Amino acid sequence: MSFSLHGIGVSGGIAIGYAHLTSNARVEVPQYMLDRKYIKDELARFDEAILATRTELETLRNHIPANAPAELSAFLDMHLMFLGDSMIAEVPKRLIRETQCNAEWALAQQMEALVARFEEIDDAYLRSRQEDVVQVVQRVLKALTGHPSHLPLDVDFDSERVLVAHELSPADMIVFKNVHFAAFITDLGGTTSHTAILARSMAMPSVMALHNAHGLIRDHDLLIVDGRDGVVIVNPDESVLAEYRLRQNQWRIDTDKLKRLKTSKSSTLDGVPIELMANIELLDDVDAVKAAGAHGIGLFRSEFLFLNRNDLPTEDEQYASYKAVAEALDGKPVTIRTLDLGADKQAPWGHTMADNPALGLRAIRLCLAEPGLFHTQLRAILRASRHGQVRMLIPMLASFVELQQTLQRIQAAKASLRKDGLKFDDDILIGGMIEVPAAALTAGFFAEQLDFLSIGTNDLIQYTLAIDRADDSVAHLYDPLHPAVLNLIQHTIRAGAKAGKPVSVCGEMAGDPLLTRLLLGLGLRIFSMHPASLLQVKQQVLKAQVGETTPIALKLLKNTDPDRTALLLNRLNG
């Protein structure tokens, strides 16, 4: 039966392929009593599940993508070690024998007992290891209940597969970076969730916030994924398939044509130069930055070095990554953002998830609360600063006290490097992200104290409109064109201009070609975006006349009528 599903298109393009369902929901655990004569079979079933899980983990370890963090292997080793421990591999068998319960129930009981023991440990890091126990047990439970395992790295993907998931975390996406599939779709997630941002950076068609795709689609269903319009067509008929194959070809031709713009000068028709920078998550993204002809890196989300691992990257390890990016950019600017963990980017060793993590100990707040962690990163960035044009960017500043404390910490890191006789660029530029309305409204102060500002519109919209950017149930309310948002952007750009400090936008708005002229009209001259959309934005820049965009952009600042918004935007882009 053919049917279509509508969600939010988070990354453009059209993919046609067969569904591959993955599950990361916690497994329902059945409970029943066994007749004594079946105990032996139940014990054998348990042993088989342990063996299957061992094979699965070993296969995963042997198929780690080349660009995945090196620690992924250590992480899998640790899971293998837990799996082999008698606490998981033997004690449940004793429970099966003694209480005649089924294997799943025995294992779940033992997991609860282990978690309770971990809870009593004082050391936060060791306490957090309970997550690993839970993950290993989940795998065994999936093997027992016949569910497919979470990350399908052991599946031989070809370009004809579409990943269908209930939810994917940013950490999952990093692991997928080297696993080829045509598209992915999820039930949960919003357009500027970090998972969506990663999908865009991988230039992979994707649709999120489909609510129940995972429940409705079956393995091997044929899917058309239209990542621009946010549509998924399940088991299309021949005529629909033919139509989408044509559209897919056209999309490929258009993408190829764009490549010609790589070397053209980036300025508007009326001669205003515009800087187009790139956002990256990992060192490997540098190739895409070069292929797009970016002016430099406007945002290096350094926290991705900290995900998918159970320990912290050392100063030397971080230094090596930052240095490699700085050298690869060959003198072009590289803006390294200090750690922005929290909310939807959780490291396994991190603090326990707050009730409201987006408003909790996130980004600079986390760094100021963990001085050792911050100091290590600051030293690593500073040390890398002598290998290129490195800049430092501080995420989620809201208060002046935070800014003062941060600047003091940077001074302290510099002093410690001097003491150790290590070189760095003493004049390194320090910038602040404007992503909290309080910071936007007081942008003048931040502009005076800092060397540059970068507007993180993803969070600025989230915090201005009180819309959780990762929550699919409110994703339709996430509105970059809300006049409150546009006014905060314009106010920040003006504050920067008044203080003589450059201002960029590095949120997803900067990479949306439909918003390029609007941002130009608001006075923006520096855009930073995932490299996959840079040439599309450049195409818009080349066709734009700043003189014409400004009056329409100013009208949008005052407009609250959605129909008129659409009309004005059409006029801007017309």
Cα–Cα distance list, 340 to 180, 285, 463 (Å): 28, 18, 16
Does residue 507 touch ligand PEP according to CB under 6 A?
A: yes
Q: Which of 101, 166, 351, 506 is catalytic?
A: 506
Shortest distance (Å) from residue 506 CB to ligand PEP: 5
Instruction: Pick the closest to residue 225 from 495, 509, 17, 378 (CA basis).
Output: 17
Continuous H helices in 146-237: 170-176, 194-201, 213-216
172 makes contact, choosing from ligand PEP, Mg ion, none, with CB < 5 to 8 Å by partner type, with none
Instruction: Pick the closest to residue 192 from 416, 344, 294 (CA basis).
Output: 344
Cα–Cα distance list, 104 to 47, 64, 139, 566 (Å): 12, 29, 11, 55
519 makes contact, choosing from ligand PEP, Mg ion, none, with CB < 5 to 8 Å by partner type, with none
Residue 574: partners with Cβ closer than 8 Å, 6 or more residues away: none
Shortest distance (Å) from residue 467 CB to ligand PEP: 13
Shortest distance (Å) from residue 341 CB to ligand PEP: 10
Nearer to ligand PEP, 102 or 454 (CB): 454
Nearer to Mg ion, 101 or 364 (CB): 364
Verify whether residue 194 is a known catalytic residue: yes
Nearer to ligand PEP, 79 or 301 (CB): 301
364 touches 402 (CB < 8 A): yes
Shortest distance (Å) from residue 436 CB to ligand PEP: 10
Binding-site member from 221, 285, 340, 471 for ligand PEP (CB under 6 A):
340
User: What is the length of the chain?
Assistant: 574
Does residue 435 touch ligand PEP according to CB under 6 A?
A: yes
Stretch that binds Mg ion, among 188-196, 264-272, 427-435, 498-506 (CB under 5 A): 427-435
SS3 category, 136: helix
Continuous H helices in 85-223: 86-89, 91-99, 103-119, 124-128, 130-145, 170-176, 194-201, 213-216
Binding-site member from 42, 221, 281, 459 for Mg ion (CB under 5 A):
459
210's tokens:
């489909």
CA 431 to chain centre: 22
Cα–Cα distance list, 499 to 406, 444, 467, 503, 540 (Å): 20, 7, 31, 10, 28
Does residue 456 touch Mg ion according to CB under 5 A?
A: yes
Nearer to Mg ion, 361 or 417 (CB): 361
Shortest distance (Å) from residue 134 CB to ligand PEP: 27
* Region 296-315 residues binding ligand PEP, contact defined as CB under 6 A: 299, 301
Shortest distance (Å) from residue 434 CB to ligand PEP: 9
332's tokens:
């072009």
Stretch that binds ligand PEP, among 119-127, 450-458, 545-553, 560-568 (CB under 6 A): 450-458
Nearer to ligand PEP, 365 or 387 (CB): 365
Torsion of CA 289, 295, 297, 299, to 10 degrees: -110
Nearer to ligand PEP, 39 or 484 (CB): 484
Q: Which of 20, 150, 194, 491 is catalytic?
A: 194
Verify whether residue 506 is a known catalytic residue: yes
Residue 471: partners with Cβ closer than 8 Å, 6 or more residues away: 188, 190
Q: How far apart are CA 328 and CA 287, in angstroms?
A: 9
* Region 452-491 residues binding ligand PEP, contact defined as CB under 6 A: 456-459
452 touches 503 (CB < 8 A): yes
* Region 143-202 residues binding ligand PEP, contact defined as CB under 6 A: 197
Nearer to ligand PEP, 187 or 459 (CB): 459
Shortest distance (Å) from residue 362 CB to ligand PEP: 9
Binding site for ligand PEP (CB under 6 A): 197, 299, 301, 340, 435, 456-459, 506-507
Active site residues per annotation? 194, 506
Binding site for Mg ion (CB under 5 A): 435, 456, 459
